[in-house]
């Protein structure tokens, strides 16, 4: 695995160094009183993947209504228990968000996934495209030792086709079912429930796409993160969520927050007009995801019959 980031501007390199510092700082605080097996808690690798690793990132100004690449990072830890986001990584996530949105010490958003070494190697052994691309294109920002990841074992053409079809045929109807429930909620005046169900539609659509295309989706309800991973796969997804003005950007944020606030906060409010706007975007997302997945499956089928 590569370890250099010299293809990135100096400012980006400094940002990545700061991100690694934050991850280590918060992980250290989360594990400082660990007992038993967790006393040996370690970060084994921190790996940059996606567009900033490949070199095809986009860094458009926020006002330009253009896609802006995030830093995508995999943290590989020594034990499965350490992947618990609430217990070990929530503070790191909060600090990284604050550094980007409030303090402005980071000029690029950060998304990170946490997996144990066993999970990563198991993904490679089962030919999960996501992990294979991390192993192939990823850049190690930190390594505890020089141990290599397991050798990838790609699926056969037949296996890849069958797996992709299974994920799509299960995931897409599941997502659109939640969209129908959201419409029912709106008709009955259950607006907060509708917001939650639209969130679930979007989460499932992005997960369906990621699973169909890469055989992997993170255990994460953050639709901004899932959106970033999905948009990194296919540019047809760009522009589904307009960002021409503050109101449009706030609408996606309101949908993102619906996962918890629409269910648990008495202060969460959303109008029928806002839900109608979101519904149009969700419907378009469904159409684009369906097309991308169908095209991908057709490509896999063609490979089988060559």
Report the chain (306 residues): mean pLDDT per 10 consecutive residues.
93 97 96 73 95 87 63 95 93 95 94 96 96 96 90 96 98 98 97 98 98 95 93 92 88 96 95 97 98 98 92
Does a structural domain hold residue 181? yes
> Are 195 and 298 found together in one domain?
yes
**What pLDDT is stored for residue 37 in this prediction?**
67
Give the whole-angstrom CA distance, residue 114 versus residue 31. Answer: 15
Short-list 223, 233, 251, 218, CA closest to 291: 233
On whether the CB atoms of residues 43 and 28 are closer than 8 A, the answer is no
Q: Where in the sequence is the domain holding 300, given as residue range(s)?
A: 157-304
| One domain, residues 31 and 139 | yes
Q: Is residue 18 part of a domain?
A: yes
Q: Residue 93 sits in a domain of what CATH number?
A: 3.30.460
**Predicted pLDDT at 145:** 83
Cα(219)–Cα(86) distance, rounded to whole angstroms? 12
Q: Is the pTM of this model over 0.85?
A: yes
- Are 232 and 276 within one domain? yes
165 and 256 in a single domain? The answer is yes
Tokens of 247: 């109101």
Q: How many domains does the chain have?
A: 2
Q: What are phi and psi of 196, to 5 degrees?
A: -65, -45
pLDDT of residue 279: 98
Phi, psi of 275 (to 5 degrees): -65, -35
């Amino acid at each position: 695995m590569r370890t250099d980031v010299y293809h990135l501007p100096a400012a980006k390199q400094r940002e990545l160094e700061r991100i690694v510092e934050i991850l280590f700082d918060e992980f250290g605080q989360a594990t400082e009183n660990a007992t038993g097996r967790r006393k040996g808690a370690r970060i084994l690798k921190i790996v940059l993947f996606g567009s900033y690793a490949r070199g095809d990132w986009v860094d458009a100004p926020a006002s330009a209504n253009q896609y802006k690449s995030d830093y995508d990072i995999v943290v590989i830890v020594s034990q499965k228990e350490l992947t618990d986001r609430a217990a070990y990584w929530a503070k790191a996530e909060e600090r990284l968000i604050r550094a980007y949105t409030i303090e402005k010490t980071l000029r690029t958003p950060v998304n990170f996934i946490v997996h144990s070494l066993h999970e990563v190697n198991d993904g490679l052994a089962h030919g999960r495209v996501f992990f294979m691309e991390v192993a192939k294109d990823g850049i190690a920002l930190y390594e505890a030792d020089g141990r290599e990841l397991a050798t990838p074992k790609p699926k056969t053409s037949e296996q890849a086709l069958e797996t992709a079809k299974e994920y799509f045929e299960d995931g897409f109807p599941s997502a659109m079912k939640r969209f129908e429930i959201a419409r029912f909620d709106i008709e009955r005046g259950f607006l907060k429930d509708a917001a939650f169900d639209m969130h679930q539609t979007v989460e499932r659509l992005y997960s369906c796409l990621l699973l169909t295309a890469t055989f992997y989706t993170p255990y994460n309800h953050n639709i901004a993160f899932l959106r970033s991973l999905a948009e990194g796969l296919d540019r047809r997804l760009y522009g589904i969520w307009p960002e021409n003005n503050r109101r449009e950007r706030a609408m996606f944020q309101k949908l993102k927050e619906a996962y918890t606030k629409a269910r648990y906060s008495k202060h969460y409010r959303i109008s029928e007009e806002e839900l109608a706007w979101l519904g149009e975007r969700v419907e378009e997302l469904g159409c684009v995801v369906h097309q991308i997945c169908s095209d991908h499956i057709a490509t896999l089928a063609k490979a089988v019959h060559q």
